[in-house]
Chains A and B, each alone.
Chain A
């Protein structure tokens, strides 16, 4: 189900793509799964502080997949990183398996939040970011939302809220594969207007992805709009 010849991709991604190619996918959510692949792989490979052996460690950065759709892409990356055995991918969506069509934090190591209903994970991420500040933790919070998800009102409640808070530890990633029924226009400009440090990148360019995800504003939350072709 994946394309391996994408320009800008790190060849080191191939083992994960092979894992993904061995799955049967989920027809209605395959585009969603493919759209996040490069960003999620680069995040885990190069940016996110994490240890698959201790997935709930206080020392980890948090990564919340707000949209919850198309998790087979996320599962493949987690399996590639060693959070759970890769052979479980073959049991995606199966009764008795733990890799469902939307992820469950209580079943799958490495899944921070149970999502699937759109517009929930984004505000949860703000809560996590605020909680880490109360703990005086320097860990970062990454949250991935989809362009279709950005039709939800709670996404824009959260944009308004977080943009007015001192949250340099929060980085949003909006994967824009242009599936939104309502055209979103210049998404980065919208988040900038809400007070975020926003940028737009090619969501398949690994160098650009890494640079954007490593970047942190001193005072504001960051939003990275990752443009992908589907």
Chain B
């Protein structure tokens, strides 16, 4: 399992579940169709390959949900979140229907394809939807565990898969922060694929690290328990637009006043191509970049 990508894991996890859960329906828009050839043959009618029509795909999936099925809609992030955003809002959230939306191409994973194929704002806009669950796994195995735990929970759920992964999986549970280590100077919250570089950045620093794979609903109780009633500054490290989760952190620790710093993708148009690693380096989304921000927050001398 550890050798597969999150995308491949999506194919194998869902194919396996479709064999045992007759409610599960896969709705595709010409992306990843090869991963579901077996399921399409084994379960006629439950793998629906529409063509490139993502707004129709989300509404059509809602039609399946109305009839008691559990649909999954999949495409690249801009096309499964931003283009059909209103369909997700109206047809799933407002109607009170459960379904799943799985993206590939997180933030600048597809850097060479340019801005049209990047969606660093996906989580920020989905956080505006009442009842929307947002999951950001850090490894294929974590996707597998979190999908199995939540796919049929009756809520609309977004899974943000990425080609950037952590080296080892953690024992993640839906809705729960995972405490990687404890310290006293500050708490660093690392979201999904940012964990490895956060752990490296925090070497030798007296800080807590909380690993977040469920962005919504945010684990308010978990952060309060870790940070305490008089919290030290919080550093939030996100793989999408910086500051997307600040409100969640502040609300979790209220009424205590807390300083929150965020590291993520800056809210400006990024016109470079290249690779995701090159973008990360340019934006300071590396262990060294995170350490520099952490040390500035702590007022420590970089060492």
| Contact present for B55 and A127 (CB under 8 Å) | no
| Contact present for B90 and A127 (CB under 8 Å) | no
Contact with A along B1-26 (1 / 0, CB 8 A): 00000000000000000000000010
Overall SS of chain A's interface: helix
For residue B66, CB closer than 8 A to chain A, the reply is yes
Query: How many residues of A are in contact with the other chain, CB < 8 A?
Result: 31
For residue A208, CB closer than 8 A to chain B, the reply is no
Task: Determine the chain B residues whose CB is within 8 A of the CB of A131 once the complex forms.
Answer: 25, 63-64, 66-69
Cβ < 8 Å to B, chain A residues 115-132:
115-117, 119-132
For residue A153, CB closer than 8 A to chain B, the reply is yes
For residue A114, CB closer than 8 A to chain B, the reply is yes
Task: Given A105-B95, A114-B95, decide whether A132 and B51 contact each other with a Cβ distance below 8 A.
Answer: no
In the bound complex, what is the Cα–Cα distance between A161 and B25 (angstroms)? 17
| Contact present for B95 and A127 (CB under 8 Å) | no
Across the interface, name the chain A residue whose C-beta is closest to B71: A127
In the bound complex, what is the Cα–Cα distance between A126 and B61 (angstroms)? 9
Contact with B along A94-129 (1 / 0, CB 8 A): 000000000001100000111111011111111111
Task: Determine the chain B residues whose CB is within 8 A of the CB of A132 once the complex forms.
Answer: 67
Give chain A nearest CB distance to B88 CB in angstroms.
11
Partner of B66, one of A113, A120, A153, A160: A113
For residue B276, CB closer than 8 A to chain A, the reply is no
For residue B62, CB closer than 8 A to chain A, the reply is yes
| Contact present for B94 and A114 (CB under 8 Å) | yes
In the bound complex, what is the Cα–Cα distance between A124 and B58 (angstroms)? 8
Give chain B nearest CB distance to A119 CB in angstroms.
7
In the bound complex, what is the Cα–Cα distance between A119 and B96 (angstroms)? 19
For residue B91, CB closer than 8 A to chain A, the reply is yes
In the bound complex, what is the Cα–Cα distance between A47 and B230 (angstroms)? 67
In the bound complex, what is the Cα–Cα distance between A131 and B65 (angstroms)? 9
For residue A133, CB closer than 8 A to chain B, the reply is yes
In the bound complex, what is the Cα–Cα distance between A131 and B69 (angstroms)? 8
Task: Determine the chain B residues whose CB is within 8 A of the CB of A12 once the complex forms.
Answer: none
Cβ < 8 Å to A, chain B residues 41-66:
45-46, 48, 50-51, 53, 55-57, 59-66
Partner of B55, one of A106, A113, A123, A135: A123
Across the interface, name the chain A residue whose C-beta is closest to B90: A117
In the bound complex, what is the Cα–Cα distance between A201 and B181 (angstroms)? 71
Partner of A153, one of B45, B50, B55, B69: B55
In the bound complex, what is the Cα–Cα distance between A157 and B55 (angstroms)? 9
| Contact present for A158 and B95 (CB under 8 Å) | no
For residue B277, CB closer than 8 A to chain A, the reply is no
Partner of A126, one of B60, B69, B94: B60
In the bound complex, what is the Cα–Cα distance between A55 and B53 (angstroms)? 31
Residue of B48, B57, B60, B87 ringed by the most chain A CB atoms within 10 A: B60
Q: How large is the interface on B (under 10, 10 to 19, 20 to 34, 35 or more residues)?
A: 20 to 34
| Contact present for A114 and B69 (CB under 8 Å) | no
For residue B206, CB closer than 8 A to chain A, the reply is no
Overall SS of chain B's interface: helix
| Contact present for A127 and B66 (CB under 8 Å) | yes
| Contact present for A126 and B90 (CB under 8 Å) | no
Partner of B64, one of A105, A130, A161: A130
| Contact present for A161 and B59 (CB under 8 Å) | no
Give chain B nearest CB distance to A3 CB in angstroms.
33
Cβ < 8 Å to A, chain B residues 210-250:
none
| Contact present for A113 and B60 (CB under 8 Å) | no
Task: Determine the chain A residues whose CB is within 8 A of the CB of B45 once the complex forms.
Answer: 130, 133-134
| Contact present for A127 and B59 (CB under 8 Å) | yes
Across the interface, name the chain A residue whose C-beta is closest to B87: A120
Partner of A130, one of B56, B60, B91: B60
For residue B86, CB closer than 8 A to chain A, the reply is yes
Task: Given A130-B48, A131-B69, A157-B55, decide whether A114 and B90 contact each other with a Cβ distance below 8 A.
Answer: yes
Cβ < 8 Å to B, chain A residues 42-98:
none
Task: Determine the chain A residues whose CB is within 8 A of the CB of B64 once the complex forms.
Answer: 127-128, 130-131
In the bound complex, what is the Cα–Cα distance between A104 and B60 (angstroms)? 18
Partner of B90, one of A120, A130, A134, A157: A120
Give chain B nearest CB distance to A184 CB in angstroms.
19
| Contact present for A124 and B96 (CB under 8 Å) | no
Task: Determine the chain B residues whose CB is within 8 A of the CB of A157 once the complex forms.
Answer: 53, 55-56
In the bound complex, what is the Cα–Cα distance between A50 and B61 (angstroms)? 24
Cβ < 8 Å to A, chain B residues 170-204:
none
For residue A23, CB closer than 8 A to chain B, the reply is no
Across the interface, name the chain A residue whose C-beta is closest to B94: A114
In the bound complex, what is the Cα–Cα distance between A127 and B73 (angstroms)? 12
- Chain A contacts to B: CB under 8 angstroms: 105-106, 112-117, 119-135, 153-154, 157-158, 160-161
The 6 closest A-B pairs by CB, nearest first: A127-B63, A131-B67, A123-B59, A127-B60, A157-B53, A128-B63
